[in-house]
């Protein structure tokens, strides 16, 4: 009887040990598996979804109205779109539907230093970024100074704000018009100017 009992307990102990080893091995394998890297918020993977475009255009219309109100009060354009918040614009209007879905932000240009913002503001008083300079070589100046030069070429069609999260890109012009373009918006106006006319000078 004692021998049977001892045999039973030994078998039970062996079974428990085997289950424990199997569980530990499986857990170790799961732990050892590399996790997928988080999505790159600055990758260029534009959306072609019409609903995203419609929602973004609504934001751009709000931004346009906010800039007009800001200029009326301050007699100049803001340094950043975040300067419009909260007096002229709710913060959520600076987030494109594509960002809500993917966490992606503008892959090019200088991003707003104060608030999370999907939109590329084209009139900051900061130096032209290196990636833009590589496409538009010329003397160093602020982006605002450069855009003011471009307004001498195509007037108020120069974008003040852009959303590069769509294909084609959405632009809000200085004059308040929303229009589509390639990433290099200047290509839209090569019937009235040469590409070199748009470079800093």
Instruction: Kindly report, residue by residue over 107-143, the tens digit of the pLDDT.
Output: 888 899 999 999 999 999 999 999 899 999 999 999 9
Residue spans per domain, the chain: 50-198
- Cβ-contact 181, 168 below 8 angstroms: yes
In tens, the pLDDT along 13-67 reads 444 444 444 444 444 444 555 554 455 666 788 899 999 999 999 999 999 999 9
Residue 43 pLDDT:
73
- Cβ-contact 193, 157 below 8 angstroms: no
Residue 39 pLDDT:
56
Query: If we measure between CA atoms, which residue out of 132, 146, 131, 145 comes closest to residue 197?
Result: 146
- Cβ-contact 84, 114 below 8 angstroms: no
Mean of the per-residue pLDDT values of the chain:
87
């Amino acid at each position: 009887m004692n021998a049977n009992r001892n045999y039973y307990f030994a078998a039970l102990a062996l079974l428990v040990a085997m289950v424990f080893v199997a569980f530990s091995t499986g857990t170790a394998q799961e732990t050892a598996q590399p996790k997928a890297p988080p999505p790159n918020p600055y990758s260029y993977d534009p959306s072609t979804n019409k609903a995203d475009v419609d929602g973004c255009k609504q934001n751009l219309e709000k931004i346009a109205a906010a800039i007009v109100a800001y200029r009326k009060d301050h007699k100049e354009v803001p340094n950043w779109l975040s300067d419009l918040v909260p007096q002229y614009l709710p913060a959520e209007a600076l987030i494109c539907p594509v960002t809500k879905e993917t966490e992606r932000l503008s892959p090019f240009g200088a991003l707003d230093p104060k608030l999370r913002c999907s939109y590329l503001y084209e009139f900051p008083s900061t130096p032209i970024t290196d990636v833009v300079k590589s496409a538009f070589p010329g003397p160093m100046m602020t982006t605002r100074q450069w855009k003011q030069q471009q307004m001498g070429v195509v007037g108020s069609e120069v974008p003040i704000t852009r959303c590069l999260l769509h294909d084609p890109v959405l632009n809000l012009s200085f004059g308040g018009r929303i229009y589509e373009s390639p990433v290099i918006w200047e290509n839209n106006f090569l019937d009235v100017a040469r590409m070199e006319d748009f470079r800093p000078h």
